[in-house]
Amino acid sequence: MSEPLLKVVQLRKSFGGVVATDSLDFDVMPGEIHAVIGPNGAGKTTFVAQIAGMLKSDSGTITFDGRDMAGKTAPERSHMGLARSFQITSVFRDFTALENVSLSIQAHAGHSFKFWKRASTDRDLTDPAQKILDDVGLGDKALTLAGNLAHGQQRQLEIAMALATSPKMLLLDEPTAGMGTEESETMRAFLNEMKGKYSMLLIEHDMDTVFSVADRVTVLVYGRGIATGTPEEIRNNAEVRAAYLGEDE
Amino acid sequence: MTLLLFIEQFLNGMQFGVFLFLISAGLTLVLGIMNVVNLAHGSLYMIGAYFASTFYGLTGSLIVSLVLMIPVMLLVGIVIELVVLRTLYDRDHMDQVLATFGLILFFNELVRIIWGVEAQPLTLPMWLSGNVEILPDAPYPVYRLVVIGVGMAVAAGLFWMITKTRMGMLIRAGASNRPMVGALGVNIRFLYTMVFGLGAVFAGLAGLMAAPLQSVESGIGEDMLIFAFVVIVIGGIGSIRGALVASIVIGIFETVGRSILPVLMLEVVDSETAQTAGPALASMLVYILMAVILFFKPQGLFPARTG
Amino acid sequence: MLSKLKLSILIGSFLILAALPMITEAIDEPFYIDLMARVMIFSIAAMSLDFILGYGAMISFGHALYLGLGTYAVGIMAHYEVTNGWLQLLVCISGTAFIAFILGLISLRTSGIYFIMITFALAQMFYFLGISLEAYGGDDGLPIDTRSEFFSFFDLNDAWNMYYLILGTMTVTAIVLWKIINSRFGMVVRGSHSNDARMQAIGFPTMKYRLAAFVIAGVVCGLAGFLLGNLTEFLTPEYMHWFRSGELMIMVMVGGMGTLFGPLFGAFAYLMVEDFLANFTEYWQFYFGPMLIILVLFAKQGLWGMLPGKEDMSDE
């Protein structure tokens, strides 16, 4: 047995009186896609924010790649190989697709106190950025302003920006959010392609996507993990069906 | 001697703090609920002071002036909200800063056109112009005591309104969680207008009470605005309690600091240095206090926002 | 790239400015040299503000502070008979950088309305400090007897030399800021403008870049103050007053926020309108206030932004 890449133990976070993450244990093995599902308000996005270092946890530990994440800022975690995408598309709308990805490359290419050379024609940034855009199928949109891309393309760009940080693990917060059937299918194919190359924590609403790409699934309800197992096990878990899939026992 | 000076300055500080509270209370609600930067809030204070001098000149009674003042300032506030502020709710902060800066320019010039460039006199009536002995051989102006008393009463009234009435509950909810108020189906536009009008009344009241103590002239609002900003930054945006605590603290720091600091410095350094550095340091005191508090509490002492 | 029209306007304006001393001499109106020198100084200050405001979304409402600090640097040193321009410049740059660094450290911990109020209050603090410094004239200010001395062959008492120094500084500043905005550093500043959380997620510790931008803007504005002190031969806390900060913001908005070259024209337009209204009525602000409100509501893109040629925010 190898060690898990990400290990979360007894994680907790509350806002005022509302408990968003409640004594949560969780792990992701190298190369694994571990999906987290749960009804709205189950605390999925809070969970991602805690792992990514954007929210401070009340208690519990997060270990990534053998290192304790306590006190590490979001940029520091990014440099350790944790990359996240956002549920609400947050590409830089005023930059071209190429510039968006170039920024990610730049973030991991030493410091940015470089004041003179033009960044948008810097081949050290644009060449690798173009390659990643090609990989995600946006190669021909490189010079389009991100704000002018179609919604599905913006979601792909979102992931391209995460990939450009050469991560060990991806935290994907609802990559298919707001997508039509066709776009979802493209994304699903893409995720399957990534499978094995990257470890992933996948937050997802779309059950077809979850059950077709995930190795394991954890069900989150009110901040608690009520079940973890293979997609097959989760599908047949009575408690999950009652709590989440909305079926009567 | 020094103790008496201290007590006197302490009371002056309280009195200044009362003015600050009356101005900041309205402004902190406007900032908290409507998320609008309103630079022109100081202008309301100035307009209040001008109206006070006119009403007092006409009626000869400070009480009647006060009674006249309330509906007039409410009206002024409502008109400003309807004509300018309302168009700014959906704009970014930069637009709000510039547009309300435009309002300041307009009002500062307007009062000069109406009342002239000379400072407006307002002499206290006999019954308020005397002194009382707060301690043996320590006379203190009656009027300043009255200001402190009235200010405290208004603060108490405001707290009652905020904590006990339905409108107060909506205001509090609005300051900490704006979408919620809208979700409650409250007519939010009306609430905004009323909050703004109320803020105008309080600022005008401060202007009225300050009018006998300072010269009433164009631009006096901005000096108070700066202090109000410091108060709100320290107290936390949207927090009435924070505004009260910070107002009194700043009032006392500013007043006591200015008079005591040069004296204290004489103890430590030679008189020449004290004379130069004393006033310089005193003028920076409240801002340094603000910076220190901010360093430890970037959201102020009583953050009202939850989300 | 800049559109052809904009490039022609920039080059045209530069040529006119470069020829202005000759023209004013020909028509015997030397007053205009002084006026345009003033305009250009405020252009530099407005550009520096736009650098953080338009590109970095840091709505600093105390930027005139650095203008004042620049004049104090020249004035105080001249007061103690240190007139070596290089030394004055060194003090001016390191002084404004230091103060911008400290104020940035405090104010950049916050955002939104807090940031506006804090930059406003901290700048006012220095204004009140200036007033209380009786040794340097208090609120009356202090004449600066001697202009900075750089080279023996380049005497700043000569109006033309002064003028060309200002024109040169403005041109170099515009080019340097333009390079910075499009550099890697500029990309970080602009990125954190549109989405700071995202910038952190892809690995940028944005605070230090924003702080660096804040310091750069402060230093550039301090340089404008350095020139202003030399031009007006006067030191006064009035330049640090919040009203001046408001004016700088107006210049940025009128020229076009987030367009580096817009504020050059914004400063010109604002000072001309002010001059025109002030000649026409004693109560010019009475008219200017409502004009400003209308501009904000209906002409947000500014003069430069109104010019044809679609462009992204980097003005390229």
pLDDT per residue as tens digits for the range B45-60: 999 999 999 999 899 8
Min CA distance, C257 vs chain B (Å)? Answer: 10
List of chain B residues with pLDDT < 70: 1, 175-185, 304-307
Instruction: Give which of A92, A98, A125 to mutate to test C binding, by max C Cβ within 10 Å.
Output: A92
pLDDT at C300: 77
Neighbours of chain B (3+ CB pairs under 8 A): C
Chain A residues with beta carbon closer than 8 angstroms to that of C206 = 75
Min CA distance, C214 vs chain A (Å)? Answer: 14
pLDDT at B11: 92
Chain C residues with beta carbon closer than 8 angstroms to that of B95 = 296-297, 300
Domains identified in chain C, total number: 1
Chain B residues with beta carbon closer than 8 angstroms to that of C65 = none
Question: Does the structure show a pLDDT above 80 at C308?
Answer: no
Q: What residue of C is the nearest CA neighbor of A104?
A: C202
- Render pLDDT for C223-235 as a digit per residue (tens, 0 to 9): 999 999 999 999 9
Q: Please name every residue paired with A216 in a beta bridge, in sequence order, or none if there are none.
A: A34
Chain C residues with beta carbon closer than 8 angstroms to that of B276 = 133-135
Quick one: CA torsion of B215, B217, B219, B220, rounded to 10 degrees? 30
CA neighbor of C60 nearest in space, from C260, C221, C183: C221
In a domain, A130, yes or no: no
In a domain, A138, yes or no: no
Helix (H, G, I), strand (E, B) or coil at C314: coil
Please name the member of B109, B226, B230 whose beta carbon is closest to the beta carbon of C285. B109
CB contact under 8 A, C201 and A93: no
The size of the B-C interface in CB pairs under 8 A is 122
CB contact under 8 A, B280 and C129: yes
Chain B interface residues facing chain C, Cβ-Cβ under 8 Å? 31, 35, 37, 84, 87, 91, 93-95, 97-99, 101-110, 112-113, 222, 226, 229-230, 232-233, 237, 276, 279-280, 282-284, 287-288, 290-291, 294-295, 298-299
Q: What residue of B is the nearest CA neighbor of C113?
A: B37
Chain C residues with beta carbon closer than 8 angstroms to that of B85 = none
List of chain A residues with pLDDT < 50: 248-249
CB contact under 8 A, C183 and A114: yes
d(CA C278, CA C273): 8
pLDDT band (50, 70, 90) for residue C219: very high
- Looking at residue C84, the DSSP 8-state letter turns out to be B
Q: What is the 3-state secondary structure (H, E, C) of C92-160?
A: HHHHHHHHHHHHHHHHCCCCHHHHHHHHHHHHHHHHHHHHHCHHHCHHHCEECCCCCECECCECCCCHH
CB contact under 8 A, B97 and C249: yes
CB contact under 8 A, C204 and A102: no
- Render pLDDT for C2-30 as a digit per residue (tens, 0 to 9): 788 888 999 999 999 999 999 998 998 88
In a domain, C128, yes or no: yes
User: What is the extent of the structural domain holding C273?
Assistant: 4-306
User: What is the extent of the structural domain holding A187?
Assistant: 6-93+162-243
CATH code assigned at A190: 3.40.50.300
- Render pLDDT for C268-287 as a digit per residue (tens, 0 to 9): 999 999 989 989 888 999 99
Chain B residues with beta carbon closer than 8 angstroms to that of C290 = 102, 106
CB contact under 8 A, C185 and A112: yes
d(CA C46, CA A218): 55
pLDDT at B304: 66
Please name the member of A75, A93, A108 whose beta carbon is closest to the beta carbon of C205. A75
Helix (H, G, I), strand (E, B) or coil at C288: helix
Domains identified in chain A, total number: 1
Contact B193, B81 (CB under 8 A): yes
Chain C residues with beta carbon closer than 8 angstroms to that of A79 = 203
Neighbours of chain A (3+ CB pairs under 8 A): C
Helix (H, G, I), strand (E, B) or coil at C259: coil
Question: Does the structure show a pLDDT above 50 at C313?
Answer: no
Chain C residues with beta carbon closer than 8 angstroms to that of B298 = 109-110, 114
Question: Does the structure show a pLDDT above 60 at C92?
Answer: yes
Chain A interface residues facing chain C, Cβ-Cβ under 8 Å? 52, 54, 73-76, 78-79, 83-84, 86, 90-95, 99, 102-104, 106-108, 112-120, 122, 125, 145, 161-162, 164-165
pLDDT at C314: 41
In a domain, C166, yes or no: yes
Residues 6+ apart with CB under 8 A from B258: B279, B282, B283, B285
Neighbours of chain C (3+ CB pairs under 8 A): A, B
Chain B residues with beta carbon closer than 8 angstroms to that of C291 = 102
CB contact under 8 A, A94 and C198: no
pLDDT at A1: 56
* Residue B266 CB-density burial (10 A; 0-12 exposed, 13-18 middle, 19+ buried): middle
CB contact under 8 A, B283 and C128: yes
Q: What residue of A is the nearest CA neighbor of C210?
A: A113
In a domain, A209, yes or no: yes
Please name the member of C110, C129, C286 whose beta carbon is closest to the beta carbon of B106. C286
Quick one: CA torsion of A159, A162, A168, A169, rounded to 10 degrees? -60
- Render pLDDT for C28-83 as a digit per residue (tens, 0 to 9): 888 889 999 999 999 999 999 999 999 999 999 999 999 999 999 999 999 999 99
- Render pLDDT for A140-179 as a digit per residue (tens, 0 to 9): 999 999 999 998 899 999 999 999 999 999 999 988 888 8
Q: What residue of C is the nearest CA neighbor of B233?
A: C114
In a domain, C311, yes or no: no
Please name the member of A92, A118, A162 whose beta carbon is closest to the beta carbon of C191. A92
CB contact under 8 A, C125 and B283: yes
Chain B residues with beta carbon closer than 8 angstroms to that of C246 = 97-98, 101
CB contact under 8 A, C133 and B290: no
Q: What residue of C is the nearest CA neighbor of A95?
A: C312
- Please give the C-alpha separations between residue B209 and each of B51, B215, B218, C20, in angstroms, as whole numbers: 11, 12, 17, 55
Min CA distance, C16 vs chain B (Å)? Answer: 31
Chain C residues with beta carbon closer than 8 angstroms to that of A107 = 199, 202-204
What does chain B look like in DSSP terms, one character per residue?
A: -HHHHHHHHHHHHHHHHHHHHHHHHHHHHIIIII----TTHHHHHHHHHHHHHHHHHHH--HHHHHHHHHHHHHHHHHHHHHHTGGGGTTS-HHHHHHHHHHHHHHHHHHHHHHH-SSPBP-PPPHHHH-EEEEETTEEEEHHHHHHHHHHHHHHHHHHHHHHHSHHHHHHHHHHH-HHHHHHTT--HHHHHHHHHHHHHHHHHHHHHHHTTTS-B-TTHHHHHHHHHHHHHHHH-TT-HHHHHHHHHHHHHHHHHHHHHHHHHHHHHS-HHHHHHHHHHHHHHHHHHHHHHHHHH-TT-SS-----
Question: Backbone dihedral region of A53: left (phi > 0), alpha (psi from -120 to 50 degrees) or beta?
Answer: left
Chain C residues with beta carbon closer than 8 angstroms to that of A115 = 179-180, 183, 185-186
Helix (H, G, I), strand (E, B) or coil at C292: helix
CB contact under 8 A, B291 and C106: yes
Report ipTM (2 d.p.). Answer: 0.90
Please name the member of A83, A116, A165 whose beta carbon is closest to the beta carbon of C183. A116
d(CA B278, CA B257): 9
d(CA C250, CA C263): 9
Chain B residues with beta carbon closer than 8 angstroms to that of C120 = 226, 229
CB contact under 8 A, A113 and C204: no
CB contact under 8 A, C132 and B280: yes
CB contact under 8 A, C121 and B233: yes
Min CA distance, C273 vs chain A (Å)? Answer: 33
